[in-house]
């Protein structure tokens, strides 16, 4: 008898690689600083998970960022400004992502456990194909190579539209959507999975919501750690997550629970 869950579609940064989702923040802060209009860590993270062009537009729409840009440049940001920043962001993001391509502990083991059950594995990302090139190679070296990778710009609309998840499921020949799972650390990715009709699993500790490396997270007091993880969990649940766990190493019991719910057992 085939396993009730047909496919799992994973995000990348903060979900399977780059604990804390550090690379995109590093690159965004770098390119805005070069423009003479610096942004904060929180401003870089607020719209994380969107395609990077959409992410830049969202940052520019932030009133505080817009005010600093106006003060620095003497005029409001234009579409040409966003295009220029995006052109600078691509190499910065590619380099930062390559440096942060270490798998999150448990990622390869979880993928192997899913494959052993006959579950197909796909992925989607707010990175472009160019940005993903070195990540894919490095992830494969570490034991993780999903069957399908859908990148930003490869669907007409990016997250929170469900199109990247649907594109992955079509390529995997995995259906119906309610027999599939979307796993993501960002609220916009959870919304994507929900709109696609999939079960959704949010990751609270390893991703953008907490925004700390494993070492920095471990260095916090228990009270500080619990507060940050709880806040990230609340954001994911508000976005519609069916389940929230701390990181991908805890996924398999949730997959088994979803399988039971699918079959009604």
42 and 31 housed in the same domain:
yes
Q: Is residue 117 part of a domain?
A: yes
Report the pLDDT value the prediction gives residue 117, as an integer from 0 to 100: 97
35 and 116 housed in the same domain:
no
State the pLDDT confidence band at 49, using cuts at 50, 70 and 90: confident
252 and 122 housed in the same domain:
yes
Token pair in block for residue 93 = 């993001």
27 and 146 housed in the same domain:
no
Report the pLDDT value the prediction gives residue 1, as an integer from 0 to 100: 60
Helix residue spans in the chain (DSSP H)? 22-34, 41-45, 52-61, 63-73, 79-99, 107-116, 129-141, 163-172, 187-196, 214-219, 222-238, 251-263
Neighbours of 96 (CB within 10 A): 23
Report the pLDDT value the prediction gives residue 265, as an integer from 0 to 100: 75
State the pLDDT confidence band at 241, using cuts at 50, 70 and 90: very high
Contact 180, 163 (CB under 8 A): no
Residue 67 has pLDDT above 80, yes or no: yes
18 and 28 housed in the same domain:
no
85: closest CA among 141, 44, 34? Answer: 34
Mean pLDDT of 220-248: 98
Q: Which of 78, 99, 120 is the last residue of a domain?
A: 99
Token pair in block for residue 134 = 């070195």
Token pair in block for residue 258 = 């979803």
Residue 23: C-alpha distances to residues 28, 139, 167, 198, 210 (Å): 9, 15, 25, 28, 14
Q: What percent of the chain lies above the pLDDT cut of 90?
A: 85
107 and 27 housed in the same domain:
no
Mean pLDDT of 90-105: 90
Report the pLDDT value the prediction gives residue 248, as an integer from 0 to 100: 98
Q: Is residue 145 part of a domain?
A: yes
Residue 15 has pLDDT above 90, yes or no: yes
Q: Which of 72, 99, 126 is the last residue of a domain?
A: 99
- Please tell me the least confidently modeled range out of 64-78, 144-158, 192-206, 216-230: 64-78
Report the pLDDT value the prediction gives residue 214, as an integer from 0 to 100: 95
17 and 54 housed in the same domain:
no
Mean pLDDT of 84-101: 89
State the pLDDT confidence band at 252, using cuts at 50, 70 and 90: very high
User: Residue 160: is the preceding peptide bond cis (ω within 30°)?
Assistant: yes
Average pLDDT in the chain: 94
Q: What is the CATH number of the domain that holds 37?
A: 1.10.150.240
Residue 123: C-alpha distances to residues 15, 178, 212 (Å): 10, 17, 23
The three-class DSSP label of residue 191 is helix
Token pair in block for residue 80 = 């040409």
DSSP state of 5: -
Q: State which residues form the domain around 232.
A: 7-22+102-263
pLDDT digits (tens, 9 = 90+) for 26-37: 999 999 999 999
Output the pTM of the full model. 0.90
114 and 212 housed in the same domain:
yes
Q: Which of 99, 114, 147 is the last residue of a domain?
A: 99
83 and 176 housed in the same domain:
no
Catalytic residue among 50, 52, 167, 182: 52
121 and 225 housed in the same domain:
yes
Mean pLDDT of 146-157: 96
Catalytic residue among 6, 11, 167, 247: 11
What DSSP line would sit under 221-265, residue for residue?
-HHHHHHHHHHHHHHHHHTT-SEEESSGGGHHHHHHHHHHHHHT-
228 an active-site residue? no
Residue 218 has pLDDT above 90, yes or no: yes
160 and 193 housed in the same domain:
yes
30 and 58 housed in the same domain:
yes
Number of domains composing the chain? 2
106: closest CA among 194, 38, 206, 186? Answer: 206
Q: Is residue 1 part of a domain?
A: no
Q: Is residue 176 part of a domain?
A: yes
Q: What is the CATH number of the domain that holds 142?
A: 3.40.50.1000
């Amino acid at each position: 008898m085939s396993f009730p869950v047909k496919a799992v579609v994973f995000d990348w940064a903060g979900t399977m690689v780059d604990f804390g989702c550090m690379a995109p923040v590093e690159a965004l802060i770098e390119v805005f600083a070069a423009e003479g209009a610096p942004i904060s860590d929180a401003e870089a993270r607020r719209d994380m998970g969107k395609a990077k062009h959409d992410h830049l537009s969202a940052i520019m729409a932030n009133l505080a960022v817009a005010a600093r840009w106006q003060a620095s440049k003497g005029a409001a940001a234009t579409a040409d400004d966003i295009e220029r920043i995006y052109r600078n962001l691509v190499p910065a993001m590619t380099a930062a992502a390559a440096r942060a391509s270490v798998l999150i502990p448990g990622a390869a083991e979880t993928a192997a456990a899913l494959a052993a059950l006959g579950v197909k594995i796909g992925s989607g990302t707010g990175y472009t194909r160019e940005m993903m090139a070195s990540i894919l190679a490095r992830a494969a070296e570490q034991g993780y190579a999903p069957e399908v990778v859908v990148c930003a710009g490869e669907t007409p609309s990016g997250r929170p539209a469900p199109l990247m998840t649907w594109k992955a499921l079509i390529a995997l020949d995995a259906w119906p959507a309610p027999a599939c799972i979307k796993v993501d650390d960002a609220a916009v990715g959870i919304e994507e999975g929900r709109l696609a009709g999939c079960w959704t699993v949010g990751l609270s500790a390893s991703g953008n919501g907490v925004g700390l490396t494993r070492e920095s997270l471990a260095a916090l007091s228990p009270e500080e750690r619990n507060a940050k993880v709880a806040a990230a969990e609340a954001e994911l649940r508000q976005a519609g997550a069916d389940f929230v766990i701390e990181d991908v190493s805890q996924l398999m019991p949730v997959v088994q629970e979803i399988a039971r719910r699918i079959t009604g057992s």
